[in-house]
Amino acid sequence: MLAITLFMFSCGNKKAVQLPEIGHSEITEINDVSAAYLFYDETQPDSVELNRKNLISTTNWLINVDKRLTLKQVIPHIKFLQEKKQNAGHKNVNAKNYFTCHDTSRNSLGFVEFTDVTFKNNIVNSTRKDFSLVTFNCLVKLYSLERIELETTSLDSVVIENYKRIDDLLIELKGLTSSGKLNLKFSFSPNLSFQDYITFKSLFLNAENDSLFVSNNEFIY
């Protein structure tokens, strides 16, 4: 399938965003929206350009990020937009934030919500302090889609394992949930591409259940 590219026309100039691909999205239509664009632009000092001129604080925000950008380039702008909306004079508590993607299963647009996600620069290590609700604290460190580290902390031990496939990680986590409740946190390399970030995140969109708690805090480290 051909990748979907969004075009924005401004002052007679055409700029393009190559959207990240996602295998399947549960969200395919959003109403009452306004959009911002993060362009891949090699003429800029950090190769990224943000256009947010058309954002309205009371609407759902669609953030269109070029898949070639890295998290180091993207996240500072995303945090800026989140703060802009939180501090707006006019608010809509029901308005949400989404990343726009190319849903390859339908060859159409799909959306990944990140309204409640908080991006942090300093990683918080797993601790043994609070196991009242969980059996395991798990920290997933994603360096690339072929280099994944899982740090599992239980009451009496810390185990660190390495994986080269996301599927193997998912099998391990499924096995852990059969033994107890998991509190799961993610840490992402700042050099990770936005495409790889979306690929990884999409696999956990519906993972949360009675045995798996996915933290809204994401660490870029």
Claim to verify: residue 88 and residue 133 sit in the same structural domain: no
Residues 138 and 99 in one domain: no
End of a domain among 91, 115, 139? 115
Same-domain pairing of 174 and 196: yes
How is residue 208 written in tokens?
């949360």
The structural domain count of the chain equals 2
Please identify, among 65, 89, 115, the residue that sits at the C-terminal boundary of a domain. 115
**Whether residue 1 has pLDDT greater than 80:** no
Same domain, 126 and 96: no
Asked if residue 135 lies in contact with residue 154, where contact means CB atoms within 8 angstroms, the answer is: yes
Phi, psi of 79 (to 5 degrees): -65, -40
For helices 71-86 and 194-202, angle between their N-to-C axes, nearest 10 degrees: 70
- From the number of C-beta atoms within 10 Å of its C-beta (0-12, 13-18, 19+), residue 25 rates as buried
Query: Do 56 and 143 have their domain in common?
Result: no
Q: Do 130 and 209 belong to one domain?
A: yes
111 and 164, same domain (yes or no): no
Per-residue pLDDT, 129? 47
Indicate if 70 and 152 belong to the same structural domain.
no
71's tokens: 């998290």
CA separation for the pair 71, 74 (Å, rounded): 5
Gyration radius of the chain's alpha carbons: 18
144 and 197: one domain? yes
Domain at 190, CATH number? 3.30.420
Quick: pLDDT tens for 119-166.
998 765 544 445 456 788 999 999 999 999 999 988 778 999 999 999
Residues 189, 107 share a domain: no
pLDDT at 114: 96
Q: Residue 30's domain spans which residues?
A: 5-115
In the listed set 115, 140, 169, which residue is the last one of a domain according to the structure? 115
When mean pLDDT is compared across 11-20, 49-58, 140-149, the lowest value belongs to: 11-20
DSSP per-residue letters across 54-92: T--TTSEEEEEE-TTSBHHHHHHHHHHHHHHHHT-SS--
Give the torsion through C-alpha atoms of 193, 195, 201, 205, to 10 deg. Answer: 160
E runs forming strands in the chain: 5-10, 13-18, 21-22, 33-40, 48-51, 60-65, 97-103, 108-113, 118-120, 136-144, 147-153, 158-163, 182-188, 212-220
